[in-house]
Structure 1
């Protein structure tokens, strides 16, 4: 093992980043050291870079939380894993001391530490991970596609399966069919939702959504959008709407497109405020608004099986690969929507 490694380090005080040499971390009890193959660039990474989301850990931190790689070293008390195993690390660590953790419900931890926000992430040659949060990558699943399972696909999965509790035959709308929304469309179709409406400003994104399973793709600025959704749903409007953007305009438009007892799931996040309208209208419509964040570690394993068995096709989800030194270019492409990317990966 080398003693040092290259890592893309962010100074959260100045919001500047650069590649530097840092010590290779040593796995402690219950930990493994993962040699990083790929790590995605996520919109939440951009939110840390522009100061929208505050840092939760040290002032200088390694970003990146959508990682895949191979185990390079194993710490004490780790069983069931071996050097060379292909894995995806979880993008968070349960605290171990809250009420949920003490009863073994780590997925409901109330003080979850987020990778790349509270502790060093994987825009580096190596990253530390808890053995309990690892998912094994099947041999026929590429490490490129495996990397995005740990947020870009698992967060939509959690939103569709857990938070929305989407049922076969329910109608769905997806506001923002980019990095997260693309996978909401695919997973909603896999679950059996019908019809599925994708709503996005970008015509390239709308065309891609149709190819990946949407029945209709609309521009949110289209004045006929409510009428077209009503026509597609025989006047019932949507059973479930996913806001993968998190802006006031997308949240409120999605809410307005719901039918009676419809469910809005907020997946995208920003600092913008939203309105539910009058309490009278909200109560009479019996609509529900549900916030969503993250996924259960077990979800990554389910998704890995779906990709391995050909049920879920992520071949169009990797829009480009950049080196550690070119992370800035990957960030620019994502910020400017250059090429309408789904996910851009960093390859250390």
Structure 2
């Protein structure tokens, strides 16, 4: 059993089949939901389940504290890594951008001027013109390589706070490009709705919005049953319902508390969950300063306070 901290994929991924199926359509999608609802896991599981030799893929996680320069470097690096990897060349994702650019030029010599300009621009603060050229690069790569390009932008709402018109530039690309599509995700719900669903918003009408909510009761129930049955531990109905109620059905909280409770039971050689097991799990994960849920709440609070100055 893995220690739940990072996005979940593969055998540990649970439910969300309807969203995974929707993402197969050749359209742009926006996943909106609260933090820890499972948006990142959905994107990564979709990519895992649907490898496509005719498509390049770049996944970019945009940090809350991201700036235009750091985003530009991260975006360019992701595009270069995707291109070089698709050519079958060995690639170190932590290589300097200059080295990745050289490898990309070997693969697509026709793009050498654009790639060299962007690599040089990545050393400083990007202008609107540089950002426009950067956002146009996926279509250029797709056309030159005769492939499609899927761009995944996680915590997309951060871009709305940049002092560059990134969203307006992205709208232009969506309207003009023919070989690129986007999957974006965001947990700053108000901002995501503002830039995607308001009629005057720059990206209005360009994305199909998919809401990622907490598990419904029956889904949460099945999720917990599966975890405890795999561990060979009986979860009484009382504690099952308590965990669902306490976590409001959010996958991350369910997984962390279930996993922690299982470990407590295993350490005590218990085959049935008792109240002491659940209490120990809550103390460890929610109230201890090293607990995963405690750390998540502190981080979320800090980001919320920064957003509100």
> Structure 1-normalised TM-score?
0.30
Q: Which of 1 and 2 has higher RCO (CA within 8 Å, sep 6+)? A: 2
Give the number of the structure whose residues are more often strand, by fraction: 1
Give the number of the structure whose residues are more often helix, by fraction: 2
> Structure 2-normalised TM-score?
0.33
